Amino acid sequence: MDNALAVDVEALRSRMEGTVAAPGDREYDEVRQAWNLAIDQRPALVAVPATVDEVVEVVNFARERGLRVAPQGTGHNASAIATLDRTVLVKTSALREVEIDAAGRRARVGAGVLWAEVTGPASEHGLAPLAGSSPDVGVVGYTLGGGLSWLGRRHGLAANSVLAIELVTADGRVVRTDRDHEPELFWALRGGGGSFGIVTAMEFVLYPAPEVYAGAMLWPWEQATEVLKAYVAWCRTAPDAISTSARLLQVPPLPEIPEPVRGRQFVAIDGAYLGSAEAAAEVLAPLRALEPEIDMFAPVPAAALSHIHMDPEHPVPAHGDGMILDDLTPAAIEALVRVAGPGSGSPLLMVELRQLGGAFATPPAEHGALAKMSGSFAFFAVGMVMDEAMGAAVAAHVDHVIDTMDPWDAGRRYLNFTERPSDPGAFFPEGTLRRLQAVKRAYDPADVFRANHPVT
């Protein structure tokens, strides 16, 4: 950092309660860390604003010095950011307020809030947000990218249940957008990603979830072909009240993992049914007929939905990537099992088929940039990266798996399941991308904001 900038940084620091750290500062290594520990982010500066006013300070500071600004909540998707050269990484982790309006069935959260901080208190009122499978994914980053939740086949993408978004724009204004205020910006933010400003707060719908039947079924992965073929056939007629995922899982031999699954390999189906245990049992009967070794489906409070997928609840080093798949033929299942199942030598922790269709496939009357999810499954392949050699093996195998599934590619990528720098044309139809780019030009003509998945 040159001397003039160092003096300016000192001045910025003196105006902020939150942290500002430059390379060489004591806190720099701690605050630059992403949730994905495999990513070594080295921005020009890291800022952790304590208030919305401090977000404005940081944006003005960066813009006036020709620096770019990368907003980040947790860094779950940090691997997709192409570079942080001449960039201020703005961590929103201190903006942590959560308000639950149970009577109005809505929540308002600060940009640093994690899903578990909403699902817990909402569940006490028999309500649930359209949260993802993991308790510690950030509400804002997830929702800006679309948001596939366990309630999604009933209620659609999380982005399309957003009621209002507050953000700091490139010119340092604090803007509140909703269907009546700056509607083009509101449209772009709902599924178009983090290119348009730093979101400081978001308001969204909470749905009634008084009765939820959820959990997982596991079979030894030697049964993968049989179970996955039956699963894909079952998905074709499953009601919208159920949202599920099927995985080939290689559970690590870690001491904190319960003994019955530790170090073993499974084919697993998990998910949630919105309704009574009796109705759920009927829907799940064809899967139960396959006689799972472990069956943990049961009536649960809505808050439990953050844990049924057994996602890591703390930062981990990982490498993954995804795609959207069409309906899968028996040959597709066989190809997947060959490359990621028994005998494949796969180093991956899991490959996943997340069930789409239902309300995911139907654009609601008022929707954002991501109107719907085409295709039958959101696919994701991921492995742990404990060292360089493992990283190389995992990266090569993720590519191999994605190439293998190419014949069933539905033709689009999904922002949240894409963990590498990608062409914006991969995510959106041409007309949608042009409209997003027009919003970007209107609100951020100098391209101050650097998203993980930029629209330009």
Residues that bind ligand FAD (CB under 6 A): 71-78, 81, 92, 111, 132-134, 137-138, 140-142, 144-148, 193-194, 198-199, 311-312, 416, 451-452
Closest CA to 248 of 329, 321, 352: 352
Residue 158: CA atoms inside 13 Å, Cβ hemisphere, count? 26
> Whose Cβ is closer to ligand FAD: residue 132's or residue 230's?
132
User: End-to-end CA distance of the chain, in Å?
Assistant: 28
| Cα–Cα nearest to 284, from 297, 294, 300 | 297
Whole-angstrom Cα distance, residue 157 to residue 165? 16
How many angstroms separate the CA atoms of 93 and 55, rounded? 12
Residue 338 beta carbon to ligand FAD: minimum distance, rounded to whole angstroms: 26
The size of the chain, in residues, is 456
Closest approach of Cβ 288 to ligand FAD, in Å?
A: 24
Helix (H, G, I), strand (E, B) or coil at 323: strand
- Name the minimum Å distance from CB 272 to ligand FAD: 11
Pick the closer one to ligand FAD by CB: 335 or 370. Answer: 370
Cα 111 to Cα 51: distance, rounded to the nearest angstrom: 11
Q: Which is nearer to ligand FAD, 75 or 341 (CB)?
A: 75
CB of 422: closest distance to ligand FAD in angstroms? Answer: 13
Nearer to ligand FAD, 76 or 106 (CB): 76
**CB closer to ligand FAD out of 306 and 344:** 306
- Nearest approach, Cβ of 351 to ligand FAD (angstroms)? 14
| CA–CA dist 163, 160 (Å, integer) | 8
Nearer to ligand FAD, 247 or 335 (CB): 247
Placement of tokens 């999604």 in the chain: 152
For the bound state, the minimum distance from the C-beta of residue 444 to ligand FAD, rounded and expressed in Å, comes to 11
Residue among 312 and 425 whose Cβ is closer to ligand FAD: 312
Q: How far apart are CA 271 and CA 360, in angstroms?
A: 15
What is the nearest approach in angstroms of ligand FAD to the Cβ of residue 398? Answer: 14
Q: Which is nearer to ligand FAD, 230 or 382 (CB)?
A: 382
Round to whole Å and give the CA distance between 379 and 387.
25
Q: Under the phi-then-psi rule, with left for phi > 0, alpha for psi from -120 to 50, and beta for the rest, what region is 70?
A: beta
The least distance separating ligand FAD from the CB of residue 133, rounded to whole angstroms, comes to: 4
| Tally of CA atoms within 13 A in the half-sphere of 34 that contains its CB | 23
Q: Distance (Å, rounded) from C-alpha 255 to C-alpha 228?
A: 29
Closest approach of ligand FAD to the CB of residue 77, in Å: 3
Strand boundaries in 82-195, DSSP class E: 87-91, 98-101, 106-110, 127-128, 162-168, 174-177
User: Closest approach of Cβ 329 to ligand FAD, in Å?
Assistant: 26
For β-strands 377-384 and 350-355, DSSP reports them as: antiparallel
Give the nearer residue to ligand FAD in terms of CB position, either 175 or 337.
Answer: 175
Minimum distance from residue 93 beta carbon to ligand FAD (Å): 9
Distance (Å, rounded) from C-alpha 105 to C-alpha 208? 8
CA distances to 155, 238, 409 from 241, rounded to whole Å, are 9, 8, 26
Torsion of CA 403, 408, 411, 414, to 10 degrees: -70
Q: Which residue is nearest to ligand FAD (CB)?
A: 141
Given the structure tokens 């978001």, which residue do they identify? 202
- The torsion region of residue 255 among left (phi > 0), alpha (psi -120 to 50) and beta comes to alpha
Which residue, 91 or 230, has its beta carbon nearer to ligand FAD?
91
Residue 111: Cβ-neighbour burial (10 angstroms; 0-12, 13-18, 19+): buried
Residue 338 is given by DSSP the state H
In angstroms, give the least distance from the CB of 283 to ligand FAD.
21
418 or 432: CB nearest ligand FAD: 418
Nearer to ligand FAD, 146 or 368 (CB): 146
A 10 A CB-CB count for 156 gives: 27
